[in-house]
Structure formats: structure tokens, C-alpha cells
Amino acid sequence: MVQRTAVPSKPRPRFIAPMECKRVPNLPEGDAWVYEPKQDGYRIIAIIDGNSSQLFSMSGLNYTAKYPHVAEALKWLKLKEAVFDGEIVALDESGRPNFQELQNARLTTRPIVYFVFDLLHLKGRDLLDVPLLERRKRLEDVAENFQNPVRLNPSFRVSLAAFTESVRKLGLEGIVAKRLDSIYIPGKESDAWRKRRFNQEDEFVIGGYIPGGQNFSELLIGEERGNDLVYIKRLIAGFVPHTRAEVFDAIKGLRTKKCPFANLPESRKSPYAMTEEVMRQCVWVKPERRCEVEFVERTKGGRLRHPEFRRLTG
């Protein structure tokens, strides 16, 4: 009896967890690297399977209903089977990404587009083990049929210094450097993809903390406006055990029963709002110490996006 060997089935288009960039203070240089402008939006995996197209967030949530015009545009590519990796952004009047407009996607009048920067699957074949240089070539072939709101994210093999200057002049968020021979590693941070944000920084007053661990879990910061100290943010990121202990030693002797922030409690409904209930967990301190904070930008309401503690100052 002749034993038949099962023919492996072709992989289907499906959600593939995005490969993540390593954040670095300085980007690599050389012929082995290619540079892309870092878009400021939501990372999206787009799946085309037959006559349907779907959009998924980094964690696998279905975002198709949020951006139906993007899903519809993907259908018109008539690829039948494809998986893209990219970023959905809202563009301001100058054509630059504006994250606040994206957060208000239902109300904004600004265009919302999908910048595609990688091709993970095409016509029954996964491309995860294919080097980036080859994946990019195939993506550029496919992108000849792209129409708004689907766009090809630009990629450059140029001098890093010149590209950095251009990106800064345009007011973009930062740069992603990718090694041309890199394969795609789903759901993992890879040293083959590195990113650098061109962040802002400023000094803020420490007005309290939320206890946690051996000292605190969140630092409460604000800024002086006239005679008032205005609450700005619950600061979580940027601490290591040493700096956390250093900050705690600097403020633990300043504890006070009075909240120093003039604009608390907050009534707005969000997971991080400083409501009366949250304030009952807080330990207030006299506003005598300052810290330096790095952040992407200020929102229209004066809040900070992606803030990180850097160091104590005054």
C-alpha cells in the first residue's frame, strides 16, 4: 500500500502580532539600515481575505468599525489574500500626523489615512522569514495600486544626519531605523528595528504621590500658573528602582495634609482622572521639589503625551 504524504495547506491571511521597535537614544548608521519617518497614530494590522478586509490593533482588537473607509479602500486593491502592517493617522492642515485629531476621529474633519510600512503575507504565502529588503520591494509593487486613504509609508536609504534634519524641520515625531536583512518577528521587540522620538522636555513641580511598593507607584506633577499650582499628570514611566528611591527620599519629608493643586478634583471620566475617590489614596507634599520630564507633546488641554521622568532638578 502506497502511503500518501499530506500536502501542507497554505497559510491563510490572519492577525499577526506586530513586531516592536526598540527605543534608543541614538540611531545606527550605515548601508545596512533604512530609515522611515515615525508616524504618530495607531499601529494597525490590516487583513485582506477574499472579499473582506479587517483592521486590528496591536493587541488584536477589531478596529474595522472605527475606520470603515480604510477597510473599504483595502477591498478595492483586489489582492484576495494579504496582511499589512502600518499606522493609521489623522493629518493636520500641513499634512503632519495629529494624534489629538485621531483620538476625536468621529468628530474631526481632518483626513484619516493608513500608512503601510510592511507586507507580512501575500497570495497564500507568509513573508515573515523574508528579509525586509525583499518584503519592501514586494510592498512597493503592491503599493502601485494604493489610493487614498491607503498610502505607502516612505522609506529612505540616506545619510542619517540629513534625514534627521529633514524630519525635525517637518515637525514629525521621530525616526525608525530598520536593518535591511531583518526578518519579521511577531509580537517581539527586536534590535533590528530601532526608534527615536524627538521629544520635548520641561520642568514640573511635584505635588504628591500615590503609594505603592516600597515608596510610590505614581508621581503627581503640576506647573505654576500665576499663584496657583495646576495639576498636569500622574507620572508613571521613566523610573528605575534607584531613581524611584531618590525621588522618595527627596519628598517624604515634605508630606502635608493639604492638596497643593488648585484644579482638583477632576470630574472628567477617564481611567486616569484625579477624582475624589482617587485623591483619597494620595499623599500630598509641599510643592518645593521639581523634576524634569520628557514628553512627545502637549494636548490642547495642556496635558502631556507619553511623559517620562528624567531627573530631579530644584
Residues forming the active site: 38
Helix (H/G/I), strand (E/B), else coil: 116: strand
Cα distance between residue 216 and residue 226, in whole Å? 29
Cα distance between residue 258 and residue 28, in whole Å? 49
CA neighbours within 13 Å on the CB side: how many for 92? 13
Query: Are the CB atoms for 36 and 292 separated by under 8 Å?
Result: no
Cα distance between residue 77 and residue 84, in whole Å? 12
Q: In terms of Cα–Cα distance, which of 17, 163, 153 is closest to 88? A: 153
> Which residue is listed with cell 471620566?
269
Cell for 299? 494636548
Q: Output the CA torsion sign for 48, 183, 199, 223.
A: positive
Cell for 55? 483592521
Q: Phi and psi of 285, rounded to 5°?
A: -130, 150
Cell for 18? 506586530
Beta-bridge partner residues of 230: 223
- The CA-to-CA distance between both ends of the chain, in Å, stands at 85
| Amino acid occupying residue 87 | E
Rg for the chain, CA atoms, rounded: 23
The answer for residues whose C-beta is within 8 angstroms of residue 183's C-beta and 6 or more apart is: 128, 129, 130, 131, 132, 192
Beta-bridge partner residues of 304: 298
